[in-house]
């Protein structure tokens, strides 16, 4: 019996990648095909399978990349091929997401499907702006309305009298273009002209922007502020609750967009900590580890072993298992170049020592690590000793990460680039070049921060203009620099 395909119609939430449901996240990781919309945060795609097929269905006003009929056909086709397909939609797929049409096409074709709800923008964006859509003192009812529809004018054809007089809080989706019409209709059908209105653009993301007014004033204010979609119009007394910056907007790194240089497949704990403080972090480029299991004859049993990364530790022990070699046959000492590597050794119940503890006059040792991009002679020279180098793995760049970079760049969501080490300069620069960018072109609009002297030298050599070098290579120093936004162009450094 062949594999049966299934299509998962998944809500990605309003923007913050942490707002996707656990079920949606699990299906995304398992997906063989991912079809995604323009309003899906491209950072979410970094968590899908590296082997997945990605199809952009990016709809823009009056400019559709893929027509709905073509999307329906693709879902059916891939489902009939036996694939696990995720149709990733911004917000909730059942709220103006045309999920009904897609589900109907799948049902008619006999393709199994599931609908995985998501947080809709009217609720999520309002919450991140500090406004609950219902409140015992201000709002006992809530409605979501499309801000434009299929009518000839694009102005929503609804029962304005019932809406103006029967609902406390009204959320209009993508309605900024029709804001004059919406305000006029609500007032003319009985809603007080001083009813508070809140506009929320790019809600729940680092680009979130809000504008407050009333039905009588919001049109002129939006015009002056050049407010555009994607945005939610929240009309009702509850909108007046917002006083100053919300809990989200008050985070110390709110509105900061950071590209954190990656040198391996592992995500950075620093990156997550920056997210917790409000920054939007893109760890670039995404890498996939390719193991190089050792043959029995290549496994050194009588020399000290120096591991350059946790991955090299994992591959070494996997090689022992694959060749059925008992750990008791390994006579040498274990050393690691970092605390992470030593912890990896400890996870296999082996004691790892700092490489600085080793006597430089001791017998030669074998170095195990990543073969790609390492200047072996310099690596050995920096360590001070070592004869043999064994490549345990290599890293391959995941193609989708380049599309993520391009999307974020188009949306002007790359402002600061952080190089935590010299190796990250190489991997990031190769990624930029694959996107048609150069260190010089990137430096024209992004601040470049280096953790220390070695990463600074590597970045300068590559062609970057350095904004700052941290006072010390630590998370605390990075956080302080980002909070203060002190990026003096360091011509003297370069």
Catalytic positions are 37, 59, 174
Which residues, in sequence order, are bridge partners of residue 201? 209, 231
Hey, is 54 helix, strand or coil? strand
Cα separation values, 91 from 88, 123, 197, 258, Å: 9, 10, 21, 24
DSSP state string for 400-468: HHHHHHHHHHHTT---EEEESSHHHHHHHHHHHHHTT--HHHHHTTSEEEESSHHHHHHHHHHTPPP-E
Q: Which two tokens stand for residue 397?
A: 């760049």
* Strand 231-235, strand 169-173: pairing: antiparallel
How far apart are the C-alpha atoms of 196 and 135, rounded to whole Å?
15
Write the DSSP assignment of 96-149 as a string of letters: SS-HHHHHHHHHHHT--EEEE----HHHHHHHHTT--S-BTTTBS-EEEEESS-
Tokens representing 45 are 């795609």
At 94, list the tokens.
Answer: 């059942």
Residue 436: Cβ within 10 Å count? 9
Query: Rounded to whole angstroms, how far apart are CA atoms 140 and 27?
Result: 35
CB contact at 8 A, 219 and 186? no
- Report CA-CA distances (Å) from 312 to 41, 47, 141, 263, 353: 33, 23, 58, 14, 15
Sequence-ordered list of residues with C-beta below 8 angstroms from that of 225, at least 6 positions apart, any chain: 211
* Phi, psi dihedral angles at 443 (to 5 degrees): -65, -15
Which region, left, alpha or beta, applies to residue 53 given φ > 0 means left and ψ of -120 to 50 means alpha? beta
CB atoms within 10 A of CB 242: 19
The span from the CA of 30 to the CA of 22, in Å, is 13
- Reference 95, options 176, 196, 14; nearest CA is 14
Separation in Å, CA 454 to CA 71, 308, 459, 486 = 49, 17, 9, 21
Q: What CA dihedral angle connects 397, 400, 406 and 411, to 10 degrees?
A: -130
């Amino acid at each position: 019996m062949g594999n049966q395909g299934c299509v998962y119609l998944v809500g990605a939430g309003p923007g913050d990648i942490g707002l996707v449901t656990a079920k949606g996240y699990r299906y995304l990781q398992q997906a063989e095909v991912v079809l995604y919309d323009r309003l899906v945060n491209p950072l979410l795609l970094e968590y899908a399978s590296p082997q997945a097929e990605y199809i952009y269905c990016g709809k823009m006003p009056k400019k559709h990349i893929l027509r709905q009929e073509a999307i329906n056909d693709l879902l059916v086709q891939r489902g009939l091929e036996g694939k696990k397909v995720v149709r990733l939609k911004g917000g909730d797929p059942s709220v103006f997401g045309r999920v009904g049409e897609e589900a109907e096409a799948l049902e008619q074709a006999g393709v199994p499907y599931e609908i995985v709800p998501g947080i809709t923008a009217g609720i999520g964006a309002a919450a991140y702006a500090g406004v609950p859509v219902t409140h015992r003192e201000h709002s006992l009812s809530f409605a979501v309305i499309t801000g434009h529809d299929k009518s000839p004018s694009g102005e929503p054809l609804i029962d304005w009298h019932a809406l103006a007089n029967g609902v406390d809080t009204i959320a209009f989706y993508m309605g900024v273009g029709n804001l004059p019409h919406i305000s006029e209709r609500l007032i003319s059908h009985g809603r007080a002209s001083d009813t508070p209105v809140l506009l929320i653009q790019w809600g729940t993301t680092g680009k979130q922007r809000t504008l407050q007014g009333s039905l009588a004033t919001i049109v002129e204010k939006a015009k002056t502020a050049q407010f555009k979609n994607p945005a939610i119009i929240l009309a009702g007394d509850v909108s007046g609750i917002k006083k100053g910056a919300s809990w989200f907007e008050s985070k110390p790194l709110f509105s900061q967009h950071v590209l954190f240089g990656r040198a391996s497949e592992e995500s950075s704990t620093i990156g997550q900590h920056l997210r917790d403080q409000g920054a939007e972090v893109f760890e670039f480029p995404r890498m996939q580890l390719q193991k190089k299991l050792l043959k029995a004859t290549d496994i050194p049993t009588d020399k000290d072993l120096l591991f350059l990364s946790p991955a090299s530790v994992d591959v070494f022990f996997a090689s022992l298992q694959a060749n059925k070699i008992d750990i008791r046959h390994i006579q040498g000492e274990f050393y690691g170049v970092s605390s992470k590597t030593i912890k990896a050794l400890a996870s296999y119940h082996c004691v790892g020592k700092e490489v600085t503890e080793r006597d430089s006059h001791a017998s030669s040792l074998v170095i195990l690590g990543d073969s790609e991009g390492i200047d072996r002679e310099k690596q050995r020279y920096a360590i001070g000793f070592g004869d043999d180098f064994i490549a345990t793995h290599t890293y391959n760049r995941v193609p989708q990460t380049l599309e993520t970079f391009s999307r974020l760049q188009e949306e002007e969501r790359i402002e600061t680039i952080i190089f935590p080490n010299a190796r990250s300069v190489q991997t990031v620069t190769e990624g930029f070049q694959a996107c048609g960018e150069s260190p010089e072109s990137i430096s024209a609009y992004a601040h470049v921060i280096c953790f220390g002297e070695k990463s600074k030298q590597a970045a300068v050599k590559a062609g970057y203009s350095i904004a700052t070098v941290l006072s010390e290579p630590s998370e605390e120093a990075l956080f302080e620099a980002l909070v203060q936004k002190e990026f003096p162009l360091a011509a003297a450094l370069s």
